[in-house]
């Protein structure tokens, strides 16, 4: 059982061993406290062979209930292909906006497979969104 997250590599290897062989796409939420201690690991969605549908409310409902400081979202690709799809990237961006608004730290979006993992934070692909940029979007929209 994973208790505290010490590194991306340790987490990725643990997740790939535990969930990498799933035959359907699924998403797991890892909620953490300020010390990166794991509060909960929960499957929040299960899909088909090549897709999974999930809504941000399914993630944030659980995080608020746990009084979590932040989270990592984990998604498997049964094909073993670890590259993020367009749908993965769009959902990751949506989560980045929502987590900024909720002031919950979105630490990583990881893709796992039988033979490994990909951390989108480690590759620099996790969006960095500030509250100021969200305020700018809001004020710009209201000028229309």
Task: State residue 14's pLDDT score.
Answer: 94
Q: Say whether pLDDT at 127 is over 60.
A: yes
Task: State residue 137's pLDDT score.
Answer: 64
Task: State residue 144's pLDDT score.
Answer: 55
Mean pLDDT of 98-126: 94
CATH second-level architecture of 8-142?
Answer: 3-Layer(aba) Sandwich (3.40)
Q: Say whether pLDDT at 105 is over 80.
A: yes
Buried b (16+ CB within 10 A) or exposed e, 13-36: ebbbeebbebeebbbbbbbbeeeb
Q: Where are the domains of the chain?
A: 8-142
Query: DSSP letter string over 30-93?
Result: EEE-TT-BEEEEEEEEE--SS-----HHHHHHHHHHHT-SEEEEEEE-TT---SPPHHHHHHHH
Q: Say whether pLDDT at 42 is over 60.
A: yes
52 band by pLDDT with thresholds 50, 70 and 90: confident
98 band by pLDDT with thresholds 50, 70 and 90: very high
Q: Say whether pLDDT at 75 is over 80.
A: yes
Mean pLDDT of 72-97: 93
The top-scoring range by mean pLDDT among 18-22, 63-67, 84-88 is 63-67
47 band by pLDDT with thresholds 50, 70 and 90: confident
């Amino acid at each position: 059982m994973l208790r505290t997250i010490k590194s991306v590599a340790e987490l990725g290897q643990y997740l790939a061993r535990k969930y990498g062989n799933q035959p359907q796409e699924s998403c797991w939420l890892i909620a953490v406290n300020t010390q990166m201690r794991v509060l909960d690991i929960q499957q929040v969605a299960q899909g088909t062979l090549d897709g999974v549908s999930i809504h941000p409310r399914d993630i944030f409902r659980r995080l608020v209930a746990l009084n979590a400081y932040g989270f990592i979202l984990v998604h498997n690709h049964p094909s073993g292909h670890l590259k993020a799809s367009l749908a993965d990237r769009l959902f990751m961006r949506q989560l980045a906006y929502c987590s900024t608004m909720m002031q919950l730290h979105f630490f990583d979006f990881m893709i796992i497979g039988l033979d490994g993992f990909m951390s989108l934070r480690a590759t620099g692909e996790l969006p960095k969104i500030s509250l100021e940029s969200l305020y700018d979007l809001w004020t710009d929209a209201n000028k229309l």
